Amino acid sequence: MLNRPNAILFDLDGTLLDTAKDLGNALNHILRDLERPEVAHETYRNIASDGAKGMLELGFGDDLKNFDFASLRQQFLDYYDNNICVDTDYFVGIEDLLLNLNQNAIPWGIVTNKPEFLTLKLVTSFPLLQNCAVIISGDTLSERKPHPLPLLHAEEKLSLALPNTWYIGDAERDIQAANSANMVSVIAQYGYISDKQQTVEWNADLSIHSPSDLLAYF
């Protein structure tokens, strides 16, 4: 039986926010410009957590080596930066979960591999996310997930007397980071996961199919 958490840290894309469509829009914008076939939502959805690199690899396949990757990546980021919240929203149940954490005085934060300038742009677009106690982005520190440093740094920022921190994410690197940081690792099965059967091998402490599944632990 897991004890009640006294802090919760979340991944961002695929855990708190459903950002896949806006990331897919950035990819398809580039593909249209180059008169290449666009990628359907059901194809790119589960790649969204892999960021610009993963999306471009999906869209261009083996042909990617014939392009200037740095230029394509910058085009992707520029378009995404300018259209970051067109189709992005909370996953169903996240708003209730965060409100419940606030009501129970359980501090929570965000630890993501997304670059800081994009992370902050998203957070400021969703007022409820501005209640978070700490934000660590992919370029905040010298290491990023699956290294445990970002999680440990976030926990340190929370100044907990007796840490019992949970980390929730939808990628294997999230669970690896949480396990290495001696936190309770939680898989967000509702996120961007291609093979849900494979998640058994991630050795997580808990697996949830909806954000509301966590409410029983408070």
- Sign of torsion, CA 204 206 209 210? negative
Residue finishing a domain among 56, 82, 108: 82
The answer on 130 and 73 residing in a single domain is no
Residue 2 resides in a domain: no
Same domain, 179 and 115: yes
pLDDT band of residue 218 (cuts 50, 70, 90) is confident
11 is catalytic: yes
Could you tell me the pTM of the whole model? 0.95
Of the candidates 11, 22, 50, 174, the residue annotated as catalytic is 11
Domain boundary among 82, 106, 122: 82
Tell me, yes or no, whether 100 and 72 share the same domain: no
101, 177: one domain? yes
Q: Which domain holds residue 34?
A: 20-82
Tens of pLDDT, residue by residue over 143-171, are: 999 999 999 999 999 999 888 999 999 99
**Residue 1 is assigned to a structural domain of this protein:** no
- Residues 66, 108, single domain; the answer is no
- Cα gap 181→164, rounded to integer Å: 11
Query: Is residue 41 predicted with pLDDT exceeding 80?
Result: yes
Same domain, 60 and 131: no
Q: What is the pLDDT of residues 169-196, one digit of tens each?
A: 999 999 999 999 999 999 999 999 999 9
Q: How far from chain centre, in Å, is Cα 28?
A: 21
Q: Residue 1 pLDDT > 80, yes or no?
A: no
